[in-house]
């Protein structure tokens, strides 16, 4: 084609070579399914599958050749003498009738033989792929079982090991467990190359393992919660650990305990739990390419240091997958809106990079003539070679994650098509990429990331073009139709798998992805420009990063806005049965949607109803559901195992007491209550189940001040609160007993803790800020997490006289059994509210506490059973509404 074009750069419109080639789809699917099953199967079964597939493939090939010969013989039997002239016009221009029938019979017989032979050969090829996949999976699984490491893991042996790092060291996301944050761990994949046992025996091997390092002994005071969940999670800390700076291909010597893998079916032979608190003992430097990639990634981090928090967190994630600065609140927002693929360095990043060089992917038949290469006069074959180098550099810098490998393989096949002058068919390229990658690494067949990446790409290549054309036929602008079709198609195919992972279906994923899509390309392009400029001219890189921060902030705002909607998602069974059910529901919804699109009025009504369900505006929600009830005074939010309470001031204003453990739940509760202004946030103490949701409380609201206890433990949570307040320029003050405040009809007095408690409190719970609140004629006592020692001290304090006969009691410490009976007797509330999570492991609320409250005449309600609670009225008109 290139020579025939008569142009040095090649033809602008390569010839079309027929319909889409689907011959590789069946072999790719067979390889994927076989590998997924075989990596966890016994060696005997794998060997049996391989042998049977090879024998069957050979038999089919032999049968196919016999069918082809039989077809030719059947055709030959039609020849023979016949009366002259009687066969005119029937055969191959022969004058004899017999010759005419013979030619016809030969053609038909050969045609049938070719079809049969082609079918049998295709089945044989699929069986050969099955055999290859089973053999590859068996060999990879055998690698995990051979050598000394599995036996050492069974004995939980203490060893000194030399390992070679094969992934970036990353920190797990801190998990909130009850009132504390579970300790984080630093993880990285590695290959053990040498093991020295306790008796001095030295063993050589090469076995993949997961290395776990206790992050607490190697970090400064944490700067807050952050990162992504799972093995890819990271978070930023106050002092960057030297372990986090290690690069792939670095060789270390570690003293560790070898333990079995965390679960069956993993691509590791064992887990190394590193002992001690020493810095890493490096015995071999990383390779040159990895050092270069590390400098680029570190340069991007430095160039973004001066940006605001969202841009500083997102740009490294968008460009190279560095999520160390992504906070849990932002991470949860991305998960709720199905935007996490933007932080996973998906194949879309490579598409954008190659599109700049080659041309826009939408022009499938003249794409190579619209990019930077054509403008620079680069011939097609040179374009393919340079594109291959660019793809390799992308994989090194961004690390070979499943989606990156899939995109790189597809890109390499497409570049090969450019070099050879053939029409690029992306579906065969995707199938070939899947086939080759799974044969190379069978563990990809069990990777959810790889599955989602392939599904999303397949949706863009199959459903999206058809849906875009349908929308354009209905007069939707071309660019809008393409973007909407791409987002909808990817969501349709990926949603069942996402539901298995998150037990939730997002209803805002399509609009959020559609709105974010307009900012992804400029953010990615400017981000890569920043990455390239940082080693050469940091001031230039900082300017580019500043420009890139604008689309980065737009993406963050889209994620937070979508996640904050009350109807952003619905719970769904997290099983493959649930996935199949969701797929069926999706098929029905798509079929109904296609019919509705033909009728503008029903389509508009349906869109408005869906929008109202997602947004749930408070005035409309109040009319339909009665929530929030008119004249509500106090609300307790259902935030799981934690505390978050709201005291109404009026006209969208409220005082918030504690923020719960989850920013999304806290934000959603305040949104449904219609709270937009907060004169004061009171944090009773710094346990995670009371303060971790603070970003959700502060988001998008005018906040006057934050007041907290003076007992700043745990220190990391106290620093987290201080940092959140500083970032938003909100004053942070200390609450002490005797302080009085008011807002509107609301006034309150701080009863605890005293300014200088003696003896000091045993822990954060006994330093909880305790409030006695009056809202018109209603009296409320909020005890935080006070335990019996502080409760008894409070009952003996000068404020004890004011405790008698309160209307509403926020029961201390989620209704635990540790309550002072004298305080309950003295308070004798009419209504006792318990903020508690369902199926919590602590047995909250304790039956003894509930019984003691009811014995004093209290009505006891709890958030795990009754949901959000709102108190209305006063005196005899005291009531409570559930939501």
DSSP string over 555-582: HHHHHHHHHHSTTSEEE---SHHHHHHH
Residue 799 has a pLDDT of 77
Residue length of the chain = 883
Six-digit token string for 558: 């889209």
Summarize the confidence of residues 303-327 as an average pLDDT: 85
Residue 688's alpha-carbon distances to 2, 171, 314, 713, 869, in angstroms, are 65, 19, 25, 10, 22
Rounded to an integer, what distance in angstroms lies between the CA atom of residue 732 and that of residue 721? 9
DSSP string over 465-495: HHHHHHHHHTT--HHHHHHHHHHHHHHHHHH
> Measured in whole angstroms, how far is the alpha carbon of residue 788 from the centre of its chain?
42
**pLDDT one-digit tens code per residue, 98-150:** 444 444 445 555 555 555 666 777 888 889 999 999 999 888 888 888 888 88
**pLDDT one-digit tens code per residue, 622-676:** 788 888 898 899 999 999 999 999 999 988 899 999 999 988 889 889 988 989 9
pLDDT over 70 (residue 17):
no
Rounded to an integer, what distance in angstroms lies between the CA atom of residue 326 and that of residue 323? 5
pLDDT over 50 (residue 551):
yes
Six-digit token string for 437: 């990658």
Residue 82 has a pLDDT of 44
Question: Which residues are registered as beta bridge partners of 655?
Answer: 647
Tell me whether the omega of the peptide bond preceding residue 753 falls within 30 degrees of 0, making it cis: yes
Burial of 492 (C-beta count, 10 Å sphere; 0-12/13-18/19+): buried
Residue 758 has a pLDDT of 58
795's CB contacts (< 8 A; 6+ apart) are 803, 820, 822, 823, 826
Residue 567 has a pLDDT of 84
Residue 399 has a pLDDT of 76
Summarize the confidence of residues 867-873 as an average pLDDT: 93
pLDDT over 60 (residue 264):
yes
- DSSP class of 801: G
559: alpha, beta or left? (left if phi > 0; alpha if psi -120 to 50): alpha
**pLDDT one-digit tens code per residue, 64-75:** 676 656 655 444
For tokens 């302080």, the residue is 739
Give the range with max mean pLDDT: 139-143, 294-298, 867-871. Answer: 867-871
pLDDT over 90 (residue 22):
no
pLDDT over 70 (residue 54):
yes
Task: Of 691, 856, 653, give the one whose Cα is nearest residue 769.
Answer: 691
- Which helix H or strand E contains 69, and what residues bound it? helix 43-76
Residue 92 has a pLDDT of 39
Q: List the single range of 155-159, 639-643, 761-765, 811-815 with lowest mean pLDDT.
A: 761-765
**pLDDT one-digit tens code per residue, 688-718:** 999 999 998 998 899 999 999 989 888 889 9
Q: List the single range of 113-122, 527-536, 639-648, 741-750 with lowest mean pLDDT.
A: 113-122
Rounded to an integer, what distance in angstroms lies between the CA atom of residue 132 and that of residue 45? 14
> Measured in whole angstroms, how far is the alpha carbon of residue 216 from the centre of its chain?
25
Are 507 and 568 in contact by the 8 Å Cβ rule? The answer is: yes
Six-digit token string for 328: 């849990």
DSSP string over 727-779: HTT--EEE--TT-EEEETTEEEEEEES-SS-SSPPSSGGGG--EEEEEETTEE
pLDDT over 80 (residue 77):
no
Summarize the confidence of residues 307-333 as an average pLDDT: 83
Six-digit token string for 364: 């499938």
242's CB contacts (< 8 A; 6+ apart) are 218, 279, 280
Q: How many CA atoms lie within 13 A of 810 on its CB side?
A: 33
Summarize the confidence of residues 338-364 as an average pLDDT: 67
Per the prediction, the chain carries an average pLDDT of: 81
Summarize the confidence of residues 598-616 as an average pLDDT: 84
**CA gyration radius, the chain:** 33
If DSSP states are collapsed to H, E and C, what string results for 667-696? HHHHHHCCCCEECCEEECCCCHHHHCCHHH
701's CB contacts (< 8 A; 6+ apart) are 670, 675, 676, 677, 678
Six-digit token string for 795: 């009952």
Residue 687 has a pLDDT of 93
Terminal C-alpha separation, the chain: 68
Task: Of 81, 79, 99, give the one whose Cα is nearest residue 89.
Answer: 99
More confident residue, 279 or 92: 279
pLDDT over 50 (residue 229):
no
């Amino acid at each position: 084609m290139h020579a025939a074009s008569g142009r040095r750069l090649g033809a602008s419109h390569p010839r079309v070579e027929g319909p889409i080639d689907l011959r590789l789809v069946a072999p790719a699917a067979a390889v994927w399914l076989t590998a997924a099953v075989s990596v966890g199967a016994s060696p005997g079964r794998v060997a049996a599958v391989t042998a049977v597939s090879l024998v069957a493939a050979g038999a089919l090939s032999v049968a196919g050749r016999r069918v082809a010969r039989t077809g030719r013989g059947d055709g030959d039997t039609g020849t023979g003498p016949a009366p002259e002239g009687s066969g005119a016009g029937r055969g191959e221009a022969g004058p004899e009738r017999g010759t005419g029938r013979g030619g016809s019979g030969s053609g038909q017989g050969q045609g049938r033989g070719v079809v049969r032979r082609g079918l049998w050969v295709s089945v044989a090829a699929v069986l050969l792929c099955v055999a290859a996949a089973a053999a590859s999976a068996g060999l990879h699984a055998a690698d995990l079982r051979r050598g000394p490491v599995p036996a050492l893991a069974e004995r939980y042996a203490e060893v000194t090991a030399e390992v070679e790092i094969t992934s970036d060291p990353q920190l797990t996301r801190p998990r909130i467990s009850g009132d504390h944050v579970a300790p984080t761990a630093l993880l990285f994949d590695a290959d053990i190359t040498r093991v020295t046992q306790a008796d001095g025996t030295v063993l050589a091997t090469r076995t993949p393992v997961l290395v776990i390092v206790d992050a607490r002994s190697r970090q400064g005071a944490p700067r807050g919660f952050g990162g992504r969940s799972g093995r890819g999670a990271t978070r930023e800390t106050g002092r960057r650990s030297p372990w986090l700076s290690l690069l792939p291909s670095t060789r270390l010597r570690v003293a560790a305990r070898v333990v079995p893998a965390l679960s069956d079916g993993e691509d590791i032979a064992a887990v190394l739990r590193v002992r001690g608190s020493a810095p890493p003992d490096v015995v071999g430097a990383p390779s040159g390419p990895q050092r270069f990639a590390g400098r680029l990634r570190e340069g991007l981090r430095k160039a973004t240091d001066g940006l605001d928090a969202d841009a500083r967190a997102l740009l490294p994630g968008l460009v190279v997958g560095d999520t160390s600065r992504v906070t849990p609140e932002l991470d949860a927002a991305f998960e709720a809106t199905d935007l996490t693929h933007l932080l996973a360095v998906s194949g879309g990043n490579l598409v954008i990079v190659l599109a700049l060089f080659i041309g826009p992917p939408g022009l499938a038949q003249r794409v190579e003539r619209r990019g930077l290469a054509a403008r620079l006069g680069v011939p097609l074959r040179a374009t393919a070679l340079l594109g291959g180098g660019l793809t390799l550099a992308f994989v090194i810098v961004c690390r070979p994650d499943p989606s990156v490998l899939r995109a790189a393989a597809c890109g390499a096949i497409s570049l090969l098509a450019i070099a050879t002058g053939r029409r690029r068919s992306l579906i065969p390229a995707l199938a070939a990429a899947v086939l080759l990658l799974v044969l190379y690494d069978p563990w990809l067949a069990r990777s959810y990331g790889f599955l989602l990446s392939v599904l999303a790409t397949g949706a863009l290549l199959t459903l999206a073009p058809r849906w875009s054309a349908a929308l354009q036929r209905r007069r939707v602008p071309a660019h809008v139709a393409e973007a909407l079709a791409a987002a909808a198609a990817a969501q349709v195919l990926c949603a069942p798998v996402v539901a298995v992972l998150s037990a939730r279906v997002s209803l805002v994923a399509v609009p959020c992805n559609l709105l974010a899509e307009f900012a992804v390309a400029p953010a990615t392009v400017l981000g890569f420009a920043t990455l390239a400029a940082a080693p050469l001219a940091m001031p230039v890189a900082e300017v580019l990063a500043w420009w890139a921060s604008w689309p980065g902030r737009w993406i963050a705002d889209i994620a937070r806005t979508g996640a904050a909607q009350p109807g952003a998602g619905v719970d769904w069974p997290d099983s493959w049965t649930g996935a199949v059910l969701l797929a069926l529901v999706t098929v029905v919804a798509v079929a109904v949607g296609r019919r509705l699109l033909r009728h503008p009025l029903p389509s508009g009504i349906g869109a408005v109803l869906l929008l109202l369900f997602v947004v749930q505006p408070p005035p409309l929600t109040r009319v339909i559901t009665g929530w929030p009830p008119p004249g509500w005074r106090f609300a307790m939010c259902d935030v799981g195992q934690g505390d978050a309470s709201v005291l109404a001031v009026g006209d969208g204003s409220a005082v918030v007491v504690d923020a719960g453990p989850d920013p999304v739940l806290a934000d959603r509760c305040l949104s449904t209550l219609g709270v937009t202004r907060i004169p004061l946030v009171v944090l009773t103490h710094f346990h995670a189940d009371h303060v971790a949701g603070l970003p959700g409380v502060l988001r998008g609201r005018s906040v006057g001040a934050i007041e907290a206890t003076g007992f700043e433990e745990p220190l990391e949570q106290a620093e987290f609160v201080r940092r959140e307040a500083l970032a938003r320029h909100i004053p942070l003050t200390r609450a002490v007993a005797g302080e009085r405040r008011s807002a509107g009809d609301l006034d309150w007095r701080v009863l605890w803790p005293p300014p200088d408690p003696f003896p000091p409190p045993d822990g954060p719970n006994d330093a909880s800020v305790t409030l006695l609140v009056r809202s018109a004629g209603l009296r409320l006592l909020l005890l935080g997490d006070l335990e019996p020692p502080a409760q008894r001290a409070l009952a003996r304090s000068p404020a004890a006289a004011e405790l008698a006969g309160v209307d509403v009691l926020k029961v201390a410490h989620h209704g635990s059994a540790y309550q002072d009976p004298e305080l309950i007797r003295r308070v004798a509330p009419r209504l006792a509210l318990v903020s508690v999570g369902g199926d919590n492991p602590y047995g909250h609320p304790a039956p003894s506490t509930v019984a003691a409250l009811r014995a004093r005449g209290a009505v006891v309600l709890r958030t795990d059973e009754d949901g959000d609670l709102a108190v209305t009225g006063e005196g005899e008109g005291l009531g409570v509404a559930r939501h």
